[in-house]
Structure 1
Amino acid sequence: MKFPLYFSRKIAFSKDNKNNLSRVIIFIGRLSVALGIIVSLITVSTGLGSKKAIKERLGDFSGHITIKSTKSNSSYNTSVLDQEGLNIKSIKALPDVAAVQQYAMVTGIMRNENSFAGIIFKGVDRDFDSLRFKNFLIAGKTPFFSGKGYNNGIVISEKIANDLHLKVNDSIVTIFSKADQKPIYRNFEVAGIYKTDIKMIDDQFVIGDINHVRKIQDMKPDEVGGLDIFFKNINNIDKDAPKVEKFIGYKNYAERATDKYPQINDWIGLFDTNIGIIISIMLLVVIINIIMVLLILIIERTNSIGLLKTLGATNGQIRATFINYTLIIMVPGLLYGNAIGLGLLLAQKFFGIIKLNPKDYYVSVVPVDLNPLLIISISVGILIISGLALVIPSYLISKISPVKAIKYN
């Protein structure tokens, strides 16, 4: 074992540390490290968890990417998807694609004796992923859309249900307008109620049979307004989207879930900035405290430094000894910080203790993403950066004269 590491362990675990100033200094150093770890873990895990949760909600409802016709305008009434160059089989065959589902949309107004609500009726076909959608259901069920005939069952949001005083199995009249034609009336039955916590979705969307939209929009039986494509991992949208675009034809375009609602995407982007700022502040606090610990330990052990120099130890060896000593002091702080931080995060993950207002944050509880690699990286990163930060202050040792140090009291 090399001398610096051996001697640093000797003084780190020495019983003398329990009866002098070192005890207080060591406690302060470990406390600062533990707090830094706790705050960093909570910041990163909840920040990344929020980003992931919001992206998944956006993607799971309306597809990780959506294929639309270039003829589509700002209206929610979809244009017919152009079939030229469109190869759905090739899209489904891509290894990263989990599912592809057809849809068509039309706007309308739901009305009863209590109130009315403007809605976007999203018609889906037999390939609708009801299992994925089940995560949003809070009452009832998703109707089975066979692709034949007209299924009058619909799924509405909790917001629309509350506005119109509707519950499962209630009937509701919906009015669809067409240019130069009389309004079209449809009577639907509420089969289920969903909630995504995303205002732009919950305020408007109703899920129903695509054949109703085809009839209203004068579409042919095999025509669709678009495709919702789901990837196995929503975080790979930027990598997988170009692969899909090769098979959609030049008259159609792909819209990513993260681009569909730019205001939400911009808000999500703030998480990276906030995480960076908080981590930097905590790292700075830890470094300042650890440097303070090192300097006080050097001053306190001036006699030992003088004695080591007299016995032939070089400045480099003594500096390495005190740097190792300080890093050893940090280790219990790292362990306690990880234990407490992970304990708090696990409690939040499984019990949802801290709630949020979904109108402001798009999620109802603070989400947690426990990524083992990031957890390890935070501890290792703080340890390495602290070690590097101790190099310059440790040069104080070279200024200590052996003769004067031995006389130092």
Structure 2
Amino acid sequence: MNLAFFIARRMAKPSPENKPGVMERIAVVSVALGAAVMILAMAVIMGFKREVAHKMTGFAAHVSVTDVRGVNALDSEPVHRSAHLEELIRATDGFEAMAPYAVKGGIVRTADAVGEVMLKGVEGDYDWSYFREWLVDGELPRVGDSVRTKDILLSRSLADRLLLGVGDKVEMLFVEPGEMPRRDRFKVAGVYASGMEEMDGMVVVTDIRNVQRLSDWGPDEISGYEIRTRDLRDAAAFARTLGRTLLYDDEEGTENLAVTSVTERYANIFDWLKAHDVNAAVIIVIMLVVAFFNMASALLILVLERTRMIGLLKALGMRSGELRRIFLWRAGFVTLRGLAWGNAVGLGLCLVQKWTHLIKLSSEGYLLSEVPVSLGWGWWLALNAGFIAAIVALLMIPTAVVSGVKPEETIRYE
């Protein structure tokens, strides 16, 4: 039997003579508050990372291959499709899927408003899973049919701004330097809402042949390829590997190509997400410090209240190290009680937000329209285990007061 654990457990057992003191209650509340705040902070930060990365992947995939002059540009030199280029992309480790696309900047004009947009053309094998998830009205545009259609998919924010609905006809203007503006009419097939205002306000999806015709491109000319890797974390490595492959390839059609990962293409957004890691670290450290001082105060009170017991156990031959372990176990029990309450409160609030979307955000400032929450076993277990380990390790300092208790003084005093 572990004697220190046995004595600590008996000390913690509630009884009429052994009631929790005020400091112990404060310590439990402090630990519970710290745990709840840390869980909420981590869940929101992980939710931001997951949701923003998910939405950016839906708009721009993991990796893009474009002409070197077309990186982050709406109107660029076309990339010529070739079986050799596509085979090089497929042969790169981490490849999962790819789709050609073409983009062109334009202006949407109605009788009531004008808006600048990016017309994005895709083929029939395009992965519609993201836009299908975001679809709020109508249907996805028909693309890849034998007969080219003028269907478009636009965002709800853009539709509201331009007073458009499903089935409405809309005119677009395409301005080329030194040339007369080109006009074309499209039909609104569906409306989507991703919640990311920065992208929603720009992206309009249609058949790739519409964009090729407006750009005076042939059927084998595109803006580039969107590539999906097995995981977003593999995107940067995939882009570097494919970029080196294309750089040293001698075949015609692979020169002047740039390979860009979504984290590099939208570096400002992903750098903003990384900054949240610092915020999480600061919150965790502050909560640990507050919990430690309250736990240390409570532990010192427990030691002072048990000076007679300490003196008696020392007189019976128990060493100071074993006595310190008694109070460390006692502090561990208090920490576990606080963690239980903190987890109940923190996880409960996370689930309420996840199910009800109660707290909203300004999508212009935060990219998302509501506070995202992501719960995962990995970081949750690590957070709780780290909290317990840190508190118990830090409490080694105040338990040193046990060594200063002298049996002859405490027993004589009684």
Please, which moves more after superposition, 50-59 or 214-223?
A: 214-223
Partner residue in 2 for 1:329: 334
Partner residue in 2 for 1:56: 54
> How far off its partner does 1:96 sit?
4.2
Please, which moves more after superposition, 144-153 or 392-401?
A: 144-153
* 1:112 to 2:72 alignment: no
Please, which moves more after superposition, 171-180 or 273-282?
A: 171-180
- List aligned pairs for 1:155-234, cutoff 5 A: 155-234=153-232
> How far off its partner does 1:264 sit?
2.1
The separation in 2 between residues aligned to 1:96 and 1:60, in whole angstroms, is 18
- List aligned pairs for 1:1-400, cutoff 5 A: 1-13=1-13, 15=15, 18-19=18-19, 22-72=20-70, 75-82=73-80, 87-92=85-90, 96-146=94-144, 148-245=146-243, 248=246, 249=254, 251-400=256-405
> How far off its partner does 1:408 sit?
4.1
The separation in 2 between residues aligned to 1:151 and 1:247, in whole angstroms, is 37
The separation in 1 between residues aligned to 2:100 and 2:413, in whole angstroms, is 83
> How far off its partner does 1:195 sit?
2.2
Equivalent pair of 1:64/1:230 in contact (CA under 8 Å): yes
The separation in 2 between residues aligned to 1:123 and 1:14, in whole angstroms, is 70
The separation in 2 between residues aligned to 1:284 and 1:348, in whole angstroms, is 28
Aligned CA distance change for structure 1 residues 284 and 240 (closer, same or farther; 3 Å): farther
> How far off its partner does 1:16 sit?
5.5
Equivalent residue letter for 1:279? I
Cα-to-partner distance string for 1:315-339 (whole Å, 9 max, x where unaligned): 1111111111111222122222212
Cα-to-partner distance string for 1:206-258 (whole Å, 9 max, x where unaligned): 11111122122221212211111223433443344334445554521222222
The separation in 2 between residues aligned to 1:349 and 1:179, in whole angstroms, is 49
Equivalent pair of 1:17/1:23 in contact (CA under 8 Å): no
TM-score by length of structure 1 reads 0.92
Equivalent pair of 2:81/2:221 in contact (CA under 8 Å): no
Aligned CA distance change for structure 1 residues 385 and 368 (closer, same or farther; 3 Å): same
The separation in 1 between residues aligned to 2:266 and 2:410, in whole angstroms, is 67
Aligned CA distance change for structure 1 residues 56 and 244 (closer, same or farther; 3 Å): farther
> How far off its partner does 1:82 sit?
5.0
Please, which moves more after superposition, 50-59 or 76-85?
A: 76-85
The separation in 2 between residues aligned to 1:87 and 1:408, in whole angstroms, is 89
Please, which moves more after superposition, 132-141 or 291-300?
A: 132-141
Aligned CA distance change for structure 1 residues 147 and 252 (closer, same or farther; 3 Å): farther
Please, which moves more after superposition, 326-335 or 283-292?
A: 326-335
Unaligned runs of 5+ in 2: 247-253
Please, which moves more after superposition, 332-341 or 73-82?
A: 73-82
Please, which moves more after superposition, 308-317 or 74-83?
A: 74-83
Alignment RMSD: 2.2
The separation in 2 between residues aligned to 1:279 and 1:86, in whole angstroms, is 51
> How far off its partner does 1:203 sit?
2.3
Counterpart secondary structure, 1:113: coil
Counterpart secondary structure, 2:358: coil
Equivalent pair of 1:102/1:127 in contact (CA under 8 Å): no
Cα-to-partner distance string for 1:355-385 (whole Å, 9 max, x where unaligned): 2221221112211111101111111111111
> How far off its partner does 1:103 sit?
0.6
Counterpart secondary structure, 1:168: coil
Equivalent pair of 1:172/1:188 in contact (CA under 8 Å): yes
Equivalent residue letter for 1:122? K
Aligned CA distance change for structure 1 residues 28 and 58 (closer, same or farther; 3 Å): same
The separation in 1 between residues aligned to 2:201 and 2:366, in whole angstroms, is 16
- % identity of equivalent residues: 29
> How far off its partner does 1:204 sit?
1.9
Aligned CA distance change for structure 1 residues 395 and 190 (closer, same or farther; 3 Å): same
> How far off its partner does 1:122 sit?
1.0
Equivalent pair of 1:137/1:193 in contact (CA under 8 Å): yes
